Amino acid sequence: MYKYSKALFITCIYLSFSLVCKAIESTNLDSVIHYAESGDSYYQGVLGTIYRRGEKGEINYSQAQKWLTLSTNNNNPIGLYNLAVLYESGIMGSANTALVDSLYQKSFALMLELAHQGSPRAQVNLGYLLETGTVVKENLPKALKWYEKATEFGSARAQFIIGYKYYYGWGYKRSLEKAVQWFEKAANQNYPEACHFLGNIYANGIGTPKDNNKAIDYFRKAECIQKNSEEISKETGAYTLNGIEYEDDQIIPGLLPPNYLFEIDQGSCGEACLWSIINSDSFQVTQMEINQVGGDPGRGLHTIELRKPLGYFHIKYEDKMRKPYIRYAVAFFNPLKFFSSHSKKYKDYLYEDIISKIKDGNPIILGVKKYPDGHLFWDCDHFILLVGYNEKTNELIFNDFTKRKRINAEKLLDKTEGYSTVNRYNFHNYIEIMR
């Protein structure tokens, strides 16, 4: 009887210690990997989440799937919940709705139990499930209670979420002052999302006086961390982005899009393209600083201003975007420009000029129109950064603000909804970056 009592006592001590460990989860990646590799289902879920969210500076969806699956096999709520999020996103292929729903359903009761035990990660996840009504009836007030509980354990993610709610007045009465206070708590823990949010707040003077120096400091803290990761196999030439292999993609390496959107009047598409080019080897400068170099701080860069940051940061380029005003005038008053499709010229331009340069390893800042046309007199509305081509699928791969996207080359030759090189002046708009 004594032996059984002793064994029970030791088991209770172990379980109590385990619960405390979950409440004060290790933030050291090596420790997390060690626990996960030792078979701890909680830390397997944590490691999978770290790779899914890029919490330690790298997103790797294949690794996320691996560790979350192991955690799920042991019925751990962290694994169940995050595997559902991963599959729901469609990143790993078409989402299986039934599987996603099943994973969320299985996670809820276990997540509630783990949240009561003091895991801030579980408390935040539970808050999301309650807020969105994914499993049970939507209950934002209860969700906020769990977010608040997680902040008691110092969760930077929970602090950011509460700041976000105050900023937009979701669940709380809107208070920019309280929003900033919560964002700053998260930023003090180097939570990148909070840092970038504060950068946009101080850059635009939202609920607080404009402060460019503060804005740049916060932007730098966020933007120096690049979550995305890419690799090109020397043996096969296969391209991998965030742990997912893309067959037959010819990619110019080192041109990952920024993680965060610089919010500015008239948009920051030019700043985002330049950010990828200037920071291709290592982080040097934020989107806000690029904007300031461009010439008119406070609004997005225009066509003629893109070359200024390139020159300032000693980037070699060939500018085919800037044109004398006389060319606009001649094109505008020439009726043939309006009624001629110039389809062969556009096709030659795209395949023989643009795509050939991509194949040669030179990225292209491409000026495109967005249809339906909201700016009838503009020759381009938007800038994208072309970084690759897939000859088998005839797709161009490009950065668009914070996203890596692809588009069939033929789509760029018509005026159907979306991006196109076709414009009323029949201008060809691009800047070639010489590498």
The reply to whether 11 falls in a domain is no
Q: Clarify whether residues 312 and 428 are in a common domain.
A: yes
Q: Clarify whether residues 136 and 254 are in a common domain.
A: no
Q: What is the phi/psi pair of residue 299, to 5°?
A: -140, 160
Q: How many CB atoms lie within 10 A of CB 178?
A: 16
User: How many domains does the chain contain in total?
Assistant: 3
Q: Are 262 and 272 in contact (CB under 8 A)?
A: yes
For 396, the 3-state DSSP assignment is: strand
Q: Clarify whether residues 165 and 116 are in a common domain.
A: no
Q: Which residue has the tokens 């400091």?
A: 217
Q: Can you tell me the mean pLDDT for 126-137?
A: 96
**So what's the pLDDT on residue 12?**
40
Instruction: Give the CA count within 13 Å in the CB-facing half-sphere of 228.
Output: 20
Q: Clarify whether residues 214 and 251 are in a common domain.
A: no
Q: Can you tell me the mean pLDDT for 79-98?
A: 95
Alpha helix stretches (DSSP H) within 39-119: 41-53, 61-73, 77-88, 97-117
Q: Clarify whether residues 239 and 344 are in a common domain.
A: yes
> In which domain, by residue range, is 390 found?
227-435
Q: What is the tens place of the pLDDT at every residue in 346-375?
A: 999 999 999 999 999 999 999 999 999 988
Using alpha carbons, select from 250, 234, 231, 276 the residue that is nearest to residue 355: 250
Q: Clarify whether residues 382 and 370 are in a common domain.
A: yes
**Can you tell me the distance from the alpha carbon of 234 to that of 84, in angstroms, rounded to the nearest whole number?**
34
Of 151, 181, 206, the one marking the end of a domain is 151
How many residues does this entry show for the chain?
Answer: 435
Q: Clarify whether residues 193 and 266 are in a common domain.
A: no
Q: Can you tell me the mean pLDDT for 19-45?
A: 84
**So what's the pLDDT on residue 175?**
97
Q: Which residue has the tokens 């509980």?
A: 149
**So what's the pLDDT on residue 23?**
55
Q: What is the tens place of the pLDDT at every residue in 234-281?
A: 888 899 999 999 989 999 999 999 999 999 999 999 999 999 999 999
State if pTM tops 0.85.
yes
* CATH number assigned to the domain comprising residue 305: 3.90.70.10
Q: Clarify whether residues 27 and 128 are in a common domain.
A: yes
The reply to whether 12 falls in a domain is no
Q: What is the mean pLDDT of the chain?
A: 90
Q: Clarify whether residues 284 and 399 are in a common domain.
A: yes
Q: Clarify whether residues 147 and 194 are in a common domain.
A: no
The reply to whether 6 falls in a domain is no
The reply to whether 8 falls in a domain is no
Q: How many CB atoms lie within 10 A of CB 227?
A: 18
Q: Clarify whether residues 249 and 117 are in a common domain.
A: no
The reply to whether 7 falls in a domain is no
Q: Are 153 and 167 in contact (CB under 8 A)?
A: no
Q: Clarify whether residues 217 and 362 are in a common domain.
A: no
**Can you tell me the distance from the alpha carbon of 429 to that of 150, in angstroms, rounded to the nearest whole number?**
50
User: Residue 166: is its pLDDT beyond 90?
Assistant: yes
**Is residue 346 within a helix (H) or strand (E), and if so which, with residue range?**
helix 343-348
